[in-house]
Structure 1
Amino acid sequence: MKKLGVVAAGLFVAYGIVRLVDGRDGEHGPGRAWTVGHVLFLVGILLYGVVLVRARGLLRARHAAGTAAVVVGFAGVAAFARVFVVDLIVGFRAEDHAAMSRIGDEYERWPGDLGIYEPLYNVGPLLFLAGLLTLAVLLTVERQLPVWSPVLLLVGFVLISVNLDLMPLGGALLGLAFVSNTTGSRDRRRTSAAL
């Protein structure tokens, strides 16, 4: 789970860097950078879906909260994926930035006119964060993640939410949240070895 979390976060960082390169002219997309960046993010968010499942599997206690966190997190992953798939389709179809807005309107309710896409667009990232953060807190309580992991996840997402130009920094913090084992686990191993 931890390696996947780092890889997924690395893809977010890469997306953020490509996005900054794409925006040098003051506009984002369409073009190669738009497509590459969106594919990187899409793969990253799908990997986070796997992280959610694996994090739930690592819980020693079978919390109902862990299962709920996976369901909520998946809703967020689905919302993110939908936005980025639509962005990719629009980017492929548009000849210039002005056309992207026009073509994007055609996909406002895709797929199907369910009337849920606008709320999901706004709430989806919060659902993903809530699911991942809940699992991180539960793993921290069980001393499988360090105490600072949930904090780094939260700060990383806040940075990304404040300004997408901060995606490389926010993504790096998301990755750091998965880097280390807990000091508690290491201390227990040292104590056992000393005895």
Structure 2
Amino acid sequence: MSAMSGPTAAARIHGMDKAVAFTAAPLLVIVYASARFLDGLDGERGPGPAWTTGHLAFLAALLLFVPVLLELRRLAGRGPFATVTAVVGLVGAVCSVVQISVDLVVGALAADHEAMRGMFAGVRSVPGVDVVVYLVGPVLLYLGLLVLYCHLAVVRAVPVWRAVAVVLAVLVSLLGLDALPAVGLLLYAGLAHPRRGISPAAARG
């Protein structure tokens, strides 16, 4: 009979899935940043394979940030503060998913860059879309990650250097999309391989 069976096996597999999300999400941000750089070598971005590949990678990263935020909430004790912060981050993830989905659709439908520009102008002219989907909404994802990681660092559930890396990633992201390579690397430093740095016992204490 196997030594790992029943609930124990399920718990370990579930834990492995969460660890994969912590590591893969920042790596996929780096993939997006790399594809974006290659896409811009000719002086304009999209449409084309690099545009689509990069945006699909970023979409996958955003979806993986959902279990990351939920796990951080669990480690932070599932209290009202952790719950509200996680919800803020999840709202940001949803807004970012909408934005990337629009980018993918426009990239698929547009014949050239000028056509893309016109389509984007039409989307962003819809009242509220520019603010919610492009300006304010996506920032909430980074804000949720930042606050949860700082909280975990304060209660010594994660090393301070991990929280510092996440804080730096958020600050660097304010510089714009050209800073995404650095953002991805900093997020990888802060988030990847959580089993090596996160202490659930400390968080619950």
Listed as ranges, the matches of 1:2-81 within 5 Å are 2-59=19-76, 61-81=77-97
Residue 108 of structure 1: aligned partner: 124
Instruction: Give the drift of 1:155.
Output: 1.2
Structure 1: which 4+ aligned runs deviate by more than 6 Å? none
1-structure distance, mates of 2:21, 2:142: 16
Residue 131 of structure 2 aligns to which amino acid in structure 1? P
Secondary structure of 2:124's match? Answer: coil
Residue 95 of structure 1 aligns to which amino acid in structure 2? A
Instruction: Give the drift of 1:83.
Output: 0.7
Q: Percent identity?
A: 36
Instruction: Give the drift of 1:92.
Output: 0.4
TM-score normalised by length of structure 1 = 0.84
TM-score normalised by length of structure 2 = 0.80
Cα shift readout 1:15-65 (whole Å, capped 9, x = no counterpart) = 000100000011010000000000000110111111101111122x34311
Q: Is the 8 A contact 1:145 1:178 kept in 2?
A: no
2-structure distance, mates of 1:158, 1:141: 19
Cα shift readout 1:164-187 (whole Å, capped 9, x = no counterpart) = 22212210110100246449x6xx
* Structure 1 stretches lacking a partner, 5+ long: 189-195
Q: Is the 8 A contact 1:45 1:77 kept in 2?
A: yes
Cα shift readout 1:125-149 (whole Å, capped 9, x = no counterpart) = 3211121111112222232211122
Is 2:99 aligned against 1:83? yes
Residue 118 of structure 1 aligns to which amino acid in structure 2? D
Is 2:168 aligned against 1:155? yes
Q: Is the 8 A contact 2:123 2:129 kept in 1?
A: no
Instruction: Give the drift of 1:2.
Output: 4.6
RMSD of aligned residue pairs (Cα, Å): 2.0
Q: Is the 8 A contact 1:6 1:174 kept in 2?
A: no
2-structure distance, mates of 1:46, 1:182: 23
Cα shift readout 1:105-159 (whole Å, capped 9, x = no counterpart) = 34336xxx6x332221211232111211111122222322111222211211222
Residue 117 of structure 1: aligned partner: 129
Residue 11 of structure 1 aligns to which amino acid in structure 2? L
Residue 13 of structure 2: aligned partner: none
Residue 127 of structure 1 aligns to which amino acid in structure 2? L
Q: Is the 8 A contact 2:143 2:170 kept in 1?
A: no
1-structure distance, mates of 2:136, 2:120: 20
Aligned positions, number? 180
2-structure distance, mates of 1:108, 1:126: 17
Instruction: Give the drift of 1:161.
Output: 2.6
Residue 88 of structure 2 aligns to which amino acid in structure 1? V
